[in-house]
Chain A
């Protein structure tokens, strides 16, 4: 094998994109997120970003980020275990713990990194992980990397999970892993039942609440609040880059485990610490949520319901998720990209999911309507969708 052969193996096949005459990926964004975004010089209605509460461009948030840059600079240029752990970082860790109701929090540069590194630190071939088959790539990759036994269960199917748990006796530790809100389907995990099954079978629950934190629950505290779970004994991860409108990811859990992971989680210990401006941003978003969540939530659900109603009226086949994610079933990869182009032509930005992000022939077009959508924008989106009447 020579160098030419090596590089030839990685030639990107854009056949489907050429057939559809549209590439839904890597469009160049040229603006902040209001209810519109400027992409390649044109205004698009933003139904793509995960800016659920519509606060990514909040003046208070921008100011907090600027002040953090003035105090700490752009970066502390070090890992948290060395000289990168600031008073701000420590304070935000505590605030997230208070918000979620879990003993201790670690903040990572991203949730992908947190999930990838979590299983490496806590699991090995002596353990078994039961994971929802629709779980996010970061969880699946992290689980695979740990070398543990992997046992997927049918999506949100508690009978199937219990059947598998009943046979798990011979492993050192059993983990049950799920997302709270499934990012392509919009379904919400039966997490109360999962937690109860873990208590019954002495397994450790792990939930990725990336699309739940700041979204679910009466005060936006996520899946634990939504499920009525207090004194959670499992492990919790979440993204700070969706409803919390910044970047980064967290792992929260029992204080003794988190203290151990501060030293033994490679994706924390060996990675440059998250930027101070992002930490300040998260701190400010938590303050905003504390005061404004009821109104933001009401607006977010209202917009979701209107967009979903328009899609149903237009004849689209929906996934019927209960979360503020509206997902259209779009068939195979070509059909999905063609549908993405239809929305694009109406100047609506959506997110297309094709194989291998989703199973073959189970493509999805996802629409997330943020709380900051103005009435005129909602009406334009509704009219555009109805014009797309799907046979």
Chain B
């Protein structure tokens, strides 16, 4: 069974067809070059795959892959 980290990385990879390794510390904009539409695709996929509604307050704080993982893990462990 895939970990949260693996699932999030898979989502980010699929949105942008990224071929190089993705690590949690990577910046979504500066390292992975996601723009606002790419981010929307990531958020939509997260909401669908994890059945979790990401609120706007959380979205604006997301800078790295790790930020997404932490939001989801906090929700899973509630």
Contacts of B41 on A, CB cut-off 8 Å? 133, 151-154
Does A359 lie within 8 Å of B17, measured CB to CB?
Answer: no
Does B33 lie within 8 Å of A154, measured CB to CB?
Answer: no
Q: Within the complex, what minimum Cβ distance (angstroms) separates B7 from chain A?
A: 15
Interface membership of B76, Cβ < 8 A: no
| B interface, CB within 8 angstroms of A | 15, 17, 33, 35, 37-38, 40-41, 44, 48
Contacts of A360 on B, CB cut-off 8 Å? 33, 35
Interface membership of A167, Cβ < 8 A: yes
Does A152 lie within 8 Å of B40, measured CB to CB?
Answer: yes
Please measure, in the bound complex, the distance between the C-alpha atom of A356 and the C-alpha atom of B36, giving whole angstroms: 10
Please measure, in the bound complex, the distance between the C-alpha atom of A299 and the C-alpha atom of B35, giving whole angstroms: 38
Contacts of A164 on B, CB cut-off 8 Å? 44
**Known pairs A133-B41, A167-B48; A154 contacts B17 (CB<8 A):** yes
Please measure, in the bound complex, the distance between the C-alpha atom of A139 and the C-alpha atom of B38, giving whole angstroms: 16
Interface membership of A48, Cβ < 8 A: no
Query: A132: nearest residue on chain B (CB-CB)?
Result: B37
Q: Which residues of chain A from 352 to 390 have a CB within 8 Å of any chain B CB? A: 355-356, 359-361
Q: Which residues of chain A from 334 to 360 have a CB within 8 Å of any chain B CB? A: 355-356, 359-360
Q: Within the complex, what minimum Cβ distance (angstroms) separates A133 from chain B?
A: 5
Interface membership of A150, Cβ < 8 A: yes
Please measure, in the bound complex, the distance between the C-alpha atom of A215 and the C-alpha atom of B5, giving whole angstroms: 47
**Can you give 23 contacting A-B residue pairs, CB < 8 Å?**
A133-B37, A133-B38, A133-B41, A140-B37, A150-B40, A151-B41, A151-B44, A152-B37, A152-B38, A152-B40, A152-B41, A152-B44, A153-B41, A164-B44, A167-B48, A355-B35, A356-B35, A359-B33, A359-B35, A359-B38, A360-B33, A360-B35, A361-B33
Contacts of B44 on A, CB cut-off 8 Å? 151-152, 164
Which 6 residue pairs spanning A and B have beta carbons closest together? A152-B37, A133-B37, A152-B41, A359-B35, A360-B33, A151-B44
Please measure, in the bound complex, the distance between the C-alpha atom of A217 and the C-alpha atom of B40, giving whole angstroms: 34
Please measure, in the bound complex, the distance between the C-alpha atom of A356 and the C-alpha atom of B37, giving whole angstroms: 11
Q: Within the complex, what minimum Cβ distance (angstroms) separates B20 from chain A?
A: 13
Does B15 lie within 8 Å of A154, measured CB to CB?
Answer: yes
Please measure, in the bound complex, the distance between the C-alpha atom of A150 and the C-alpha atom of B35, giving whole angstroms: 15
Query: B35: nearest residue on chain A (CB-CB)?
Result: A359
Q: Within the complex, what minimum Cβ distance (angstroms) separates A179 from chain B?
A: 14
Please measure, in the bound complex, the distance between the C-alpha atom of A24 and the C-alpha atom of B17, giving whole angstroms: 31
Q: Within the complex, what minimum Cβ distance (angstroms) separates B38 from chain A?
A: 7
Contacts of A150 on B, CB cut-off 8 Å? 40
Q: Within the complex, what minimum Cβ distance (angstroms) separates A90 from chain B?
A: 39
Contacts of B48 on A, CB cut-off 8 Å? 167
Query: A128: nearest residue on chain B (CB-CB)?
Result: B44
Please measure, in the bound complex, the distance between the C-alpha atom of A355 and the C-alpha atom of B33, giving whole angstroms: 11
Interface 1/0 per residue, A314-335 and B, CB below 8 Å: 0000000000000000000000
